[in-house]
């Protein structure tokens, strides 16, 4: 952290150095807020990961003492699976992929000095931090944390007599609602900053894809979360005021919650997918020294996917008693949405084709993202078909499928971005050898966890089962050995995060010093110092070309920074410089 603020003597610091608490906790600097989101997200990931460890241990050693926790009771088991899902999606994937990378990258990559609303940005993080504290508090209140799964289906979540966690369930809803408010504030900032504060000369087609993707994700989030905010208010009233919006015993409708939840919940998949796709696009162009294949098509495809994502939500409800005719419609839309995503995979492969590929750590993560996400996408087609889904629904097949989408997004995508921008964030290089050890130590066990779970799911393993000892059909030696393989792989994967954390801290403090542009990239953030000082650029840059001009035939260098002025005499579209500066 100290490295990020070594910015003495620049033009903005005419007032003396602020108190550390103000510098780290009350900062309006987009880079510091990005770091706050990043480190909060990483801390929450440790909690979410620990929960996964505890419930995987319970599954393979039912009723036995779990090291560092003890006996996992049924209520605790439910609390762990609920907490794991909630934390990993709302307090890890969202804050790290959208908020941390969005905050750090957007002003740097579009060439301005900060977000357009720095104080709203600070408020966004503070509300987010509050939401994380409320969530953690919900595990500790009398009655324990909420155990009704991260989807919080009603009436289980709505009626205290059913869920037996009156306080935990209420705090869960409040935490989620606060988190939504934090990301709405952040999202307005991202969208308006990108629309209004781009460097002179940066046209829509000159915006790096990762910025586009984060902005599209913010728009998707904003357009989909509203009904769930309304639903959260209604759920709070059901829990605490005695209304019956969702309780069928008193004329309410439990399906209403499912619609409100998944109307948000499905676009949410793309909210976190888009930033990861953007990060991968940046990395594969830099480390294959190739122009991104079909920039505009990537952009339009992402927009089309975003629009389509609003019409697929009911594929989560095929066995919830919805009209079969409606199920047919949602089967069609769900299968259609795999087309643009498949197209993006081909576009990325086309970008790599014929490039001079360097297998650096970020590149390994980016390539792993493409491979692993592909498995997630292909298995999704089985679930999108309503007929097949009737069998697969709520089995470990579903679980393995969405971990093959969310893990590449939230973990692989994050590691790709973190290792790529590490020199810019901390001014030092990450140790490559340890980076590669961590990469293989994460990727191999990841497949070891979830490939067996596809098979247990196919063989009938239902999700969220406390102990398979009570199900003779499922309590076979073969199934148990597959479960064991998954658990052992999970523990290996968790163990390999220790070298990462050590490497991360050691490299940030003592790694090799990085210059401004260590990977010879084109985008504007690499023209700022590493790490960038407050205000980012000594002189705010002007943009002359798109972000992916690698290996241009007319140039000796194999890259062409966006802000490098064209040679005098050459026909160029030199934009007018900013009048205000």
Partner 1 sequence: MSAYTRPIATGRTVTGMSTAKLAVWWIIVSEVVIFGGVLASYIMHRIGHPEWQHSAAHTNMWIGAFNTFVLLSSSLSAVLAHAAAERGDGALAARRLVYTIGGAVMFLCVKAYEWTTEISAGFTITASGFWSFYYTAAGIHAAHVFAGAIIMGFIAVAAKRNQDLHRVEIIGIYWHFVDLVWIFLFPLLYIAK
Q: How far apart are CA 500 and CA 432, in angstroms?
A: 11
Q: How far is the CB of 112 from partner 1 (least distance, A)?
A: 4
Q: How far is the CB of 424 from partner 1 (least distance, A)?
A: 19
Q: Considering the complex, state which of residue 181 and residue 451 has its C-beta at the smaller distance from partner 1.
A: 181
Within 332-430, strands assigned E span none
Q: How far is the CB of 279 from partner 1 (least distance, A)?
A: 23
Q: Considering the complex, state which of residue 26 and residue 353 has its C-beta at the smaller distance from partner 1.
A: 26
Q: How far is the CB of 12 from partner 1 (least distance, A)?
A: 8
> Which residues, listed in sequence order, are joined to residue 513 by a DSSP beta bridge?
428
Q: How far is the CB of 327 from partner 1 (least distance, A)?
A: 18
Which of 1, 71, 140, 195 binds partner 1 (CB under 8 A)? It is: 195
Q: Considering the complex, state which of residue 187 and residue 532 has its C-beta at the smaller distance from partner 1.
A: 187
Nearest to 564 by CA among 30, 199, 195: 199
Contact between 267 and 305 (Cβ < 8 Å): no
Q: If you search the block for the tokens 């969405």, which residue do you land on?
A: 402
The reply on whether position 569 binds partner 1 by CB under 8 A is: no
The reply on whether position 546 binds partner 1 by CB under 8 A is: no
Q: Considering the complex, state which of residue 88 and residue 228 has its C-beta at the smaller distance from partner 1.
A: 228
Helix or strand holding residue 153 (H, E): none
Which of 24, 50, 69, 117 binds partner 1 (CB under 8 A)? It is: 117
The H-assigned helical ranges of 496-575 are 497-510
Q: Tell me the three state secondary structure of residue 462.
A: strand
Q: Tell me the three state secondary structure of residue 512.
A: coil
The reply on whether position 112 binds partner 1 by CB under 8 A is: yes
Q: How far is the CB of 82 from partner 1 (least distance, A)?
A: 23
The reply on whether position 578 binds partner 1 by CB under 8 A is: yes
Structure letter (DSSP) for residue 532: -
Report the sign of the C-alpha dihedral through residues 156, 159, 164, 167, in that order.
positive
The reply on whether position 389 binds partner 1 by CB under 8 A is: no
Q: Considering the complex, state which of residue 147 and residue 231 has its C-beta at the smaller distance from partner 1.
A: 231
Q: Considering the complex, state which of residue 245 and residue 426 has its C-beta at the smaller distance from partner 1.
A: 245
- In sequence order, what are the residues at sequence separation of 6 or more whose Cβ sits closer than 8 angstroms to the Cβ of residue 566? 544, 572, 574
Q: Considering the complex, state which of residue 200 and residue 460 has its C-beta at the smaller distance from partner 1.
A: 200
Q: How far apart are CA 172 and CA 186, in angstroms?
A: 21
Q: Considering the complex, state which of residue 573 and residue 580 has its C-beta at the smaller distance from partner 1.
A: 580
Q: Tell me the three state secondary structure of residue 395.
A: strand
- In sequence order, what are the residues at sequence separation of 6 or more whose Cβ sits closer than 8 angstroms to the Cβ of residue 22? none
The reply on whether position 182 binds partner 1 by CB under 8 A is: no
Question: What are the tokens at 430?
Answer: 């990450």
Q: Considering the complex, state which of residue 454 and residue 544 has its C-beta at the smaller distance from partner 1.
A: 544
| Residues between 218 and 257 with contacts to partner 1, criterion CB under 8 A | 222-231, 233-234, 237, 241-245, 251-253, 256
| Residues between 261 and 290 with contacts to partner 1, criterion CB under 8 A | 263
Question: What are the tokens at 536?
Answer: 């980012």
Q: How far is the CB of 528 from partner 1 (least distance, A)?
A: 14
Q: How far apart are CA 215 and CA 278, in angstroms?
A: 11
Which of 92, 105, 177, 191 binds partner 1 (CB under 8 A)? It is: 191
Helix or strand holding residue 95 (H, E): none
Q: What are the respective helix, strand and coil percentages of the chain, to the nearest 5?
A: 65, 0, 30
The reply on whether position 28 binds partner 1 by CB under 8 A is: yes
- In sequence order, what are the residues at sequence separation of 6 or more whose Cβ sits closer than 8 angstroms to the Cβ of residue 527? 516, 517, 537, 541, 561, 563
Question: What are the tokens at 116?
Answer: 């357009």
Q: Considering the complex, state which of residue 225 and residue 425 has its C-beta at the smaller distance from partner 1.
A: 225
Distances in whole angstroms, Cα of residue 174 to Cα of each of 5, 138, 181, 229, 232: 34, 10, 11, 10, 8
Q: How far apart are CA 48 and CA 393, in angstroms?
A: 24
The reply on whether position 15 binds partner 1 by CB under 8 A is: yes
Which of 196, 356, 475, 572 binds partner 1 (CB under 8 A)? It is: 196
Tell me, residue by residue from 486 to 525, as one string, x for binding to partner 1 by CB under 8 A and - for no binding: ----------------------------------------
The values of phi and psi at residue 510, to 5°, are -125, 5
Q: Considering the complex, state which of residue 1 and residue 390 has its C-beta at the smaller distance from partner 1.
A: 1
Size of the site for partner 1 (CB under 8 A): 55
Which of 46, 129, 329, 540 binds partner 1 (CB under 8 A)? It is: 540
Which of 95, 107, 208, 413 binds partner 1 (CB under 8 A)? It is: 107
Which of 32, 42, 115, 281 binds partner 1 (CB under 8 A)? It is: 115
Return residues touching partner 1 (CB under 8 A): 12, 15, 18, 22, 26, 28, 107, 112-119, 184, 187-189, 191-193, 195-198, 222-231, 233-234, 237, 241-245, 251-253, 256, 260, 263, 535, 540, 578, 580-581
């Amino acid at each position: 952290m100290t490295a990020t603020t070594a910015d003495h003597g620049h033009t903005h610091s005419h007032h003396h150095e602020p108190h550390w608490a103000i510098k780290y906790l009350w900062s309006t600097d987009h880079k510091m807020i990005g770091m706050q989101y990043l480190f909060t997200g990483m801390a929450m990931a440790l909690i979410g990961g620990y929960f996964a460890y505890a419930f995987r241990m319970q599954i393979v050693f039912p009723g036995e003492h779990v090291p560092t926790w003890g006996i996992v009771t049924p209520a605790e088991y439910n609390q762990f699976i609920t907490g794991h899902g909630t934390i990993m999606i709302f307090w890890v994937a969202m804050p790290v992929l959208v908020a941390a990378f969005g905050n750090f990258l957007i002003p740097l990559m579009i060439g301005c000095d900060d977000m357009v609303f720095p104080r709203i940005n600070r408020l966004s993080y503070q509300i987010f931090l509050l939401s994380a504290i409320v969530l953690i508090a919900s595990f500790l209140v009398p009655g324990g944390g909420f155990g009704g799964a991260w989807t919080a289906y009603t009436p289980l979540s709505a009626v205290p007599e059913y869920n037996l966690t009156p306080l935990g369930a209420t705090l869960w809803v409040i935490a989620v609602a606060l988190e939504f408010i934090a990301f709405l504030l952040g999202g307005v900032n991202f969208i308006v900053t990108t629309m209004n504060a781009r460097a002179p000369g940066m046209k829509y087609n000159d915006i790096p894809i990762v910025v586009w993707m984060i902005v599209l994700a913010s728009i998707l989030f904003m357009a989909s979360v509203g009904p769930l905010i309304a639903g959260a208010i209604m759920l709070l009233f059901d829990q605490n005021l005695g209304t019956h919006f969702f309780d069928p015993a008193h004329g309410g409708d439990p399906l209403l919650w499912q619609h409100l939840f998944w109307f948000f919940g499905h676009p949410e998949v793309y909210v976190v997918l888009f930033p990861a796709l953007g990060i991968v696009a940046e990395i594969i162009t830099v480390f294959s020294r190739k122009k991104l294949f079909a920039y505009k098509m990537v952009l339009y495809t992402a927009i089309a996917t975003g629009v389509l994502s609003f019409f697929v939500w009911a594929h989560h409800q095929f066995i919830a008693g919805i009209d079969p005719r409606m199920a047919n419609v949602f089967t069609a839309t769900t299968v259609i949405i795999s087309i643009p995503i498949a197209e993006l995979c081909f576009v990325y492969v086309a970008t790599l084709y014929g490039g001079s590929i360097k297998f650096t750590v970020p590149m390994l993560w980016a390539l792993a993202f493409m491979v692993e996400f592909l498995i997630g996408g292909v298995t999704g087609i089985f679930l999108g078909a309503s007929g097949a889904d009737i069998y697969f629904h709520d089995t470990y097949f579903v679980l393995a499928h969405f971990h093959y989408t969310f893990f590449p997004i939230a973990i692989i995508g994050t590691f790709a971005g973190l290792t790529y921008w590490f020199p810019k964030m901390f001014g030092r290089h990450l140790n490559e050898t340890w980076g590669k050890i961590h990469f293989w130590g994460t990727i191999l066990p990841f497949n070891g966890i979830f490939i067996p779970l596809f098979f247990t799911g196919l063989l009938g393993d239902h999700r969220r089962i406390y102990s398979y000892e009570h199900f003779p059909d499922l309590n076979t030696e073969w199934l148990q050995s597959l479960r064991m393989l998954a658990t052992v792989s999970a523990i290996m994967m968790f163990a390999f995060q220790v070298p990462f954390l050590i490497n991360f801290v050691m490299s940030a403090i003592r790694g090799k010093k990085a210059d401004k542009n260590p990977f010879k990239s084109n985008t504007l953030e690499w023209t700022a110092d590493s790490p960038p000082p407050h205000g980012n650029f000594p002189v705010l840059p002007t943009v002359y070309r798109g972000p992916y001009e690698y290996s241009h035939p007319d140039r000796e260098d194999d890259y062409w920074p966006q802000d490098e002025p064209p040679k005098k005499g050459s026909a160029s579209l030199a934009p007018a410089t900013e009048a205000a500066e």
